Amino acid sequence: MNARARLVVFLLAAVGLACAFGVAFAGIPHFGAPVSAYAAILNHLSEPSRQASDVVSAVSFDFRGVDTLFEEYILFAAVAGISVLLRPLGDETRHLPEDEAPDRRIPPPSPAVGLLAVTMAPVLVVTGLETVTHGQISPGGGFQGGVVLATALFVVYLATTYARVERFEAGSLIEASEGAGAGGYVIVGLIGLVAGSAFLTNVVSLGHSGNLISGGTLPILNATVGLEVAGGFVLLVKEFLDQTEVIRGSGT
Amino acid sequence: MSILAYSVVAWLFLIGMYGVVTSRNLIAMVICLSVSQSATDVLILEIGYVHGGSAPVFVDLTRRPGPTVDAIMQALSLTDVVLGAAVSALLLALAIQVEKRTGSLDPDDLRTTHRLPW
């Protein structure tokens, strides 16, 4: 199918899809309409019954906690899939780019970049931990904070070379933290079963809304998700960075 | 206002699909797919939006009582963002392998058969 024929087929389908969108959008609530009854109930329930002032976190990790469990496992599966896809194959050998052209060394990053990285990395770690631990009080949580934590390593990478980052990043520890994060969520869920209620029931002492320790299982689940996401994103970027070192095998 | 808000969603989705159909590079294709995918983000947030609403975080709201936007939709958009990142990363990994195996990032070079009449 040539490009023109493909475009014609797409345009026909797009017109049909646009009509379907029109019909579908006519049936959904008007933009800016008051919230649904479900959301209104959750708004009223979240603080009195869960001591969590951030309703979004309460929805993600308590009222719809099983959803988030699956969401976490989708990320876990994606990272595992990328590790499998990008594994070194039998016909590939590992070389640094410098080995291919010894006369053209990669210039080291400038001192200004190094200084910026040294200043930013600790700030990013603290910001990430703050975002993970305050999920039940203010906007934030494990997913957002985990990504910020992972960024700290990438900032270090910008200031040095990949070979040096690889030496201290301890791959097995990161894999372990990713696994612990993914498994921890299920274990927290099982506590509910052990306590005689349903899976993921908020059975831990709730604390007082607005305090750092509040919301029962919310901060615990946020911490496990933070571990999982931080580990997952570091692994993910590590897999892609590894590709810069792998030289194509003789088969291609 | 409703029409404008929801047309943005349809436009984003269709323009992303147009990019997927016409792009001649697998990486550009992944970017176009994430444009399409962002349409669902916008849609979810628009459904949850309330005129004059504030974020459903009740730390400071006691001083400013009023409507809040839909917390469920915000939680769903969080799921959407995570899935978008996971899908893009997986597709980019596939693109790397395609480039390694075929030496090309053009989706047309992926054909296994040329016997089709068109």
Predicted confidence (pLDDT) per residue in A120-159, tens digit: 999 999 999 999 999 888 888 899 999 999 999 888 888 8
Distance CA B12, CA A130 (A): 34
What the block records as the tokens of A60 is 């993600």
Comparing alpha-carbon positions, the chain A residue that sits nearest to B90 is A82
pLDDT (0 to 100) of residue A1: 64
Percent of chain B scored above 90 by pLDDT? 51
pLDDT at B116 over 80: no
Report the residue from B50, B59, B71 with minimal CB separation from A137.
B59
More confident call, B8 vs A88: B8
Cα torsion angle, A210, A214, A215, A219, sign: positive
Of A159, A184, A183, A158, give the one whose Cα is nearest residue A237. Answer: A158
Q: Looking at beta carbons, which residues of chain B come within 8 Å of A73? A: none
pLDDT (0 to 100) of residue A250: 43
pTM score? 0.86
Report the residue from A21, A29, A92 with minimal CB separation from B10.
A21
Report the residue from B2, B13, B18 with minimal CB separation from A30.
B2
CB contact under 8 A, B70 and A240: no
Comparing alpha-carbon positions, the chain B residue that sits nearest to A232 is B86
Confirm if A231 and A174 have CB atoms less than 8 A apart: yes
CB contact under 8 A, A38 and B72: yes
pLDDT (0 to 100) of residue A169: 64
Mean pLDDT of all residues belonging to chain B:
86
Residue with tokens 């696994």: A179
Which of A60-74, A201-215, B63-77, B104-118 has the highest average model confidence (pLDDT)?
A: A60-74
Confirm if B117 and B105 have CB atoms less than 8 A apart: no
CB contact under 8 A, A25 and B9: yes
Please write the tens of the pLDDT for every residue from B59-111.
Answer: 766 666 678 888 899 999 999 999 999 999 999 999 988 888 888 888 887 77
**Average pLDDT for residues A199-226, to the nearest whole number?**
88
pLDDT at A232 over 60: yes
Distance CA A11, CA A33 (A): 33
CB contact under 8 A, B86 and A75: yes
What the block records as the tokens of A14 is 């797009």
Comparing alpha-carbon positions, the chain A residue that sits nearest to B57 is A54
Comparing alpha-carbon positions, the chain A residue that sits nearest to B5 is A31
Q: How many Cβ contacts (< 8 angstroms) between chains A and B? A: 155
Confirm if B57 and A53 have CB atoms less than 8 A apart: yes
Q: What is the ipTM of this complex?
A: 0.85
Report the residue from B50, B69, B71 with minimal CB separation from A59.
B71
Which string of DSSP letters, residue by residue, matches chain A?
Answer: --HHHHHHHHHHHHHHHHHHHHHHHHTSPPTBPPPPHHHHHHHHHHHHHH--SBHHHHIIIIITHHHHHHHHHHHHHHHHHHHHHTSPPTT-EE--HHHH-TTSPPPPPPHHHHHHHHHHHHHHHHHHHHHHHTTTTSS--HHHHHHHHHHHHHHHHHHS-HHHHHHHS-HHHHHHHHHHHHHHHHHHHHHHHHTTS-TT---S--B-TTSSSBSTHHHHHHHHHHHHHHHHHHHHHHHHHHTTTEEP-TT-
Percent of chain A scored above 70 by pLDDT? 90
Residue with tokens 């797919």: B33
pLDDT at B58 over 60: yes
Q: Give which of A21, A79, A244 to mutate to test B binding, by max B Cβ within 10 Å.
A: A21
SS3 call for B111: coil
Measure the CA angle with vertex B91, ends A128 and A24; round to 5°. Answer: 90
H helices then E strands: how many in chain B? 3, 0
Measure the CA angle with vertex A237, ends A221 and A152; round to 5°. Answer: 65
